[in-house]
Amino acid sequence: MYRKLVLFGLMFILMSACKPSTSGGISTTELASLHTELMALHDSTMVKHGVSLKMIDQLDQIKLSQPEGSLDSIRDELDRSNEAMMDWMAEYTDPVTQDSSALNYLMDQLRLMKAIAQTQATAISGGKTILETKK
């Protein structure tokens, strides 16, 4: 009898482990997937952050030799995108719960990161245009 009870308990645990865990209708797989997408976007944006910082230095060198208004404008855009990235990183925290509030938080953070990435891409594109015309 004891063996059957232990065997039944083990089978129950194994069967429970095969199903995605849910909390309030939100699967941990869904949260993990969203978190992974957010962090992948963050990582690719950080790579571009380095490009942006290097571009600012190049624009500053051009400005020293030939001041121009458009350089200030694109440099400001690059600075704003870099500041937005730093602010996001300072404020972001991984959710501690695994419920709908965590899902909503990650979705909001993903939207913010996409906006930062878009602003950054636009600024880098404008910077490249200026740098190419100055070569």
Q: What's the angle, vertex CA 87, arms to CA 84 and CA 88, rounded to 5?
A: 85
At residue 67, the pLDDT reads: 60
pLDDT tens digits, one per residue of 62-90: 876 666 566 788 889 999 999 999 999 99
At residue 23, the pLDDT reads: 46
CB-based contact 113:87 (threshold 8 Å):
no
Which tokens in the block code for residue 94?
A: 């991984």
CB-based contact 99:24 (threshold 8 Å):
yes
pLDDT tens digits, one per residue of 85-134: 999 999 999 998 889 999 999 999 999 999 999 999 999 999 998 888 87
Average pLDDT rounded to a whole number, residues 49-67:
84
CA-CA distance, 42 to 22, in Å (whole number)? 26
At residue 70, the pLDDT reads: 66
Which tokens in the block code for residue 50?
A: 């380095």
pLDDT tens digits, one per residue of 15-32: 444 344 444 567 888 899
Which tokens in the block code for residue 60?
A: 């500053």
More confident residue, 114 or 3: 114
Is the pLDDT assigned to residue 6 strictly greater than 90?
no
More confident residue, 28 or 53: 53
At residue 134, the pLDDT reads: 76
CB-based contact 120:45 (threshold 8 Å):
yes
pTM, full prediction:
0.72
